[in-house]
Structure 1
């Protein structure tokens, strides 16, 4: 039987030299307006740390700083375990190309244990994904075609009218279907188009500078999600002097909060 590698796995495929340096290759399927989709870069960093022989536990937190666009071609991911404690481990990472460092990151991996749990956030009340039209964007941004996107609120603006709200909520999953893991969840944390597009009702130059994702689920909980949709919701707090923030939540269909994220974005107006 012939098996086909999912385009996402090809995009984050890395060769390992055994000492914490990995080499990858950009793919046209995950191209953005400038360079590759930031989410797939974050996913490649997660995959590099997961592959390291000294890694313990699973991702707990990841902060990715986008210094410059990754250009088409090969790139290196260098990861380094800075400190290992009893239940958590701290990492640094860099993405490098011939013209220099394009991306830096820090990550925390941890061994999760049974403990008292509670979820303070509330999942938005929305219709099931099957009752929401598929709004996958067929336009000039290739990476978006890799997701089945069903907007409940705040879909991509098509009219030049400002909106009072910066909130977007959508059901989303990989297209074609792929099981959810930590690398895919890291990418989904950056699945939203810039909030300034929604507020202004028009596309303006914008790009993420720094993205932090907190992983609340463990590997077994992610595996249980299978290829199902997740509910992703994001909003901004303030747009000022060329920067805005974004806070987001990623929920499983049945109400499990899988991840939260925060990012700062540069824009021109």
Structure 2
């Protein structure tokens, strides 16, 4: 993106990240976050990001307006819009904050998985093309990508994943990876189903240092739905470092048409 004014940015979609409708949502979320991180008014690393996909992002240029609405001693709150042709396609909020030493504990555990190098890399499909930007090693729940697609009793997917070509982990990369999962309805049905994320929230558990320390190794990612119905389903997911460090927790709401 190119800065055009205070809080204003001009960007352009990238064809290799095309999805069913518009770009891959993870790269749109990462782009919105980048607008905050590139703004000189940003006072601290991100703690959370919520992106609401109000409409499809068409191929071509777009603008982002980023505005810090309040800065406190501990947190800074941002509101953003991504627009095309004077129409808002995406809205977002970002909360930034400086972490400090406190008591800490992790109540969740990474799923059981063999080492990444022992799991076969899945062949990316011809469509959607954005999946060719990632190396995916499915432990369970590959859905239509499993080679033996069939209806499943639950929607859990666990895989090792990283960018292709490999790149060191940072806030932008982990944001996109937090949306890496094929729609849960496809895993349950074992076939392709039209689906699109409506709202995505990412909570960052790791700061810049542990992300950088992870390097370009694969991350362990797991996701499942809680409920399907009325044309929508939810998804909860976790990303873990290779050493078992929690990286992100994510939640999203997805529209589907069966």
Q: Report the TM range for the smaller structure's normalisation.
A: over 0.9
Report Cα offsets for 1:22-76 as digits up to 9, x if no partner.
Answer: 0111111111121110000100011100011111110100000001110000001
Tell me the SS of whatever aligns to 2:117: helix
- What is the 5 A alignment of 1:134-149? 134-149=121-136
- Alpha-carbon distance in structure 2 between the residues aligned to 1:245 and 1:164: 16
Give TM-score scaled by structure 1 length.
Answer: 0.93
* Aligned counterpart for 2:4 among listed residues 2, 17, 37: 17
1:195 maps to 184
1:235 maps to 224
Q: 1:52 to 1:167 in 2, by over 3 A?
A: same
Tell me the SS of whatever aligns to 2:187: helix
The yes-or-no answer on 1:252 pairing with 2:236 is no
Q: Decide whether the 8 Å contact of 2:143 with 2:191 is kept in 1.
A: no
Q: Decide whether the 8 Å contact of 1:146 with 1:175 is kept in 2.
A: yes
Structure 1 segments unaligned to the other structure (5+ residues): 1-13
Tell me the SS of whatever aligns to 1:17: strand
2:203 maps to 214
- Alpha-carbon distance in structure 2 between the residues aligned to 1:63 and 1:41: 12
Alpha-carbon distance, 1:159 to partner:
5.1
- What is the 5 A alignment of 1:60-79? 60-79=47-66
Pairwise CA RMSD: 1.0
Alpha-carbon distance, 1:138 to partner:
3.5
2:115 maps to 128
Deviating beyond 4 angstroms after TM superposition, the runs of 4 or more aligned structure 1 residues are none
The yes-or-no answer on 1:38 pairing with 2:25 is yes
* Aligned counterpart for 2:214 among listed residues 208, 211, 225: 225
Alpha-carbon distance, 1:17 to partner:
1.9
